[in-house]
Amino acid sequence: MTQRAFTPARRTGLGLAAGVLIASTLAGPAAAAESSLIYMTWAGYDDPAFRTAYTEKYGEGPEFVFYSHTDEGFAQLVAGFEADVAHPCIHDVKKWKDAGLLLPIEPSKVDAWDKLIPGLRDADALMFDGQHWMVPWEWGSSSVIYRTDRVELPQETYRVLTDPAYQGKTSIPDAFDEIYQVAALLAGVEAPLEPLSEEQYAAVEKQMRAIYGNVRMIWGDPTQLEQALASGEVEVAWGWPNSYSNLVKEGVAVDYMLSPEEGLVTWTCGLARLKNGNAPDEEVYDFINALTSAETGKKLVENFGYGHTNTEGLAMVDPQQLEAFGMAGDPSAFIAEGNLMGPMPEDQRQRLIQIWETIKAGG
């Protein structure tokens, strides 16, 4: 999905341009090796539970650089910021690779490579020039979260986001690529990642206007969304599984739309090697291996409601928890049956971004 942020307490650090934050994370006693790795990601992914094997070897770190969305991280890297590993999503990889920011992945150095979900590991949007350019790490769906005590849905459909009955009662994220995907589905565009006709541009714009016309708030942090849903300020929202999970734990009457007639919007994000990094390859792959371990996979699913690409990790999770997020069964089928996000022609994306920005500006 284009930005991914969790609700645990966020670390603070030194401000960089465009609001990027940097933080040095300590974790336990000194080890034989010394951490030198810099990791660009969203706030919340610095959870120590995700990198136990790494900190056991290096004792501390890595150094985290937080961005609010991947386009911000891209701009920082293009401007010359140096880091070793980044956390882009499936629709970012081609753009980042074409900009010369990435190094290819060496599958032989990824311990869990053969255990990763094949449909994600070998996705076309991650493979170029016969090489892999990102190790998929987490995956899942984005969908509608709604208050069951205030919203009656005769059928599950994303059209609830444009229903006049909920004008001023909806919320969407500051995540263009997901909003475009929803608008394209509502406009009946069968191949939203392929070049659009002028008629399709017009149809997508119409749906974007209808979505925005109902919006009470655009959220940038899931905490904002969760508070608005819990208070009743918002009754229908586009969100992520971690927010649904948090709200259920708080006893809020909500549901997460798992079977919309348009099909779920699905995504994967992961770990990419950066060309301008300075950390040794051994340390880079130690970090990747820690995050892609089965033990980390179990913690990611249980703590945040996202899928993990290590199939052994998924097998360690209570099946009822997987069922609650629609992730039970074959994960490759889950991905294949949904509307998997991916790259589109960059000129098309920029034109659509301009349309969306114009709408938000009242044009």
Query: In CATH, what number is assigned to the domain containing residue 170?
Result: 3.40.190.10
Question: What is the rounded CA–CA span in Å between residue 191 and residue 201?
Answer: 12
Q: In the prediction, which pLDDT does 102 show?
A: 98
Residue 201 and residue 303 in one domain: no
> Among 136, 117, 134, 114, which residue's Cα sits nearest to residue 331?
117
Q: In the prediction, which pLDDT does 97 show?
A: 97
Cα separations in angstroms, 94 against 90, 99, 133, 138, 211: 8, 8, 9, 18, 28
Q: How many domains does the chain have?
A: 2
> Among 140, 134, 14, 118, which residue's Cα sits nearest to residue 66?
14
Q: Is there a cis peptide before residue 136, judged by omega within 30 degrees of 0? A: no
Residues 6+ positions from 353 with CB-CB distance below 8 Å:
176
Q: In the prediction, which pLDDT does 1 show?
A: 37
Task: For residue 338, give the amino acid letter.
Answer: G
Residue 350 and residue 236 in one domain: yes
Residue 47 and residue 129 in one domain: yes
Residues of the chain short of pLDDT 70, as ranges, are 1-32
The H or E element that residue 273 is part of is strand 265-274
Q: In the prediction, which pLDDT does 22 show?
A: 44
Q: In the prediction, which pLDDT does 302 show?
A: 86
Q: In the prediction, which pLDDT does 2 show?
A: 37
Residue 47 forms part of a structural domain: yes
% residues pLDDT > 70 (the chain):
91
Residue 220 and residue 242 in one domain: yes
> Among 9, 271, 250, 288, which residue's Cα sits nearest to residue 139?
271
Residue 6 forms part of a structural domain: no
Q: In the prediction, which pLDDT does 336 show?
A: 78
Q: In the prediction, which pLDDT does 103 show?
A: 98
Residue 58 and residue 207 in one domain: no
Q: In the prediction, which pLDDT does 21 show?
A: 47
List, in sequence order, every beta strand (DSSP E) within 148-244: 170-173, 215-219, 236-239
Residue 59 forms part of a structural domain: yes
Cα(first)–Cα(last) distance of the chain, in Å?
26
Range of the domain at 206: 141-264+345-360
Residue entry with tokens 């290590």: 310
Question: What is the rounded CA–CA span in Å between residue 140 and residue 258?
Answer: 11
Q: In the prediction, which pLDDT does 32 show?
A: 61
Residue 2 forms part of a structural domain: no
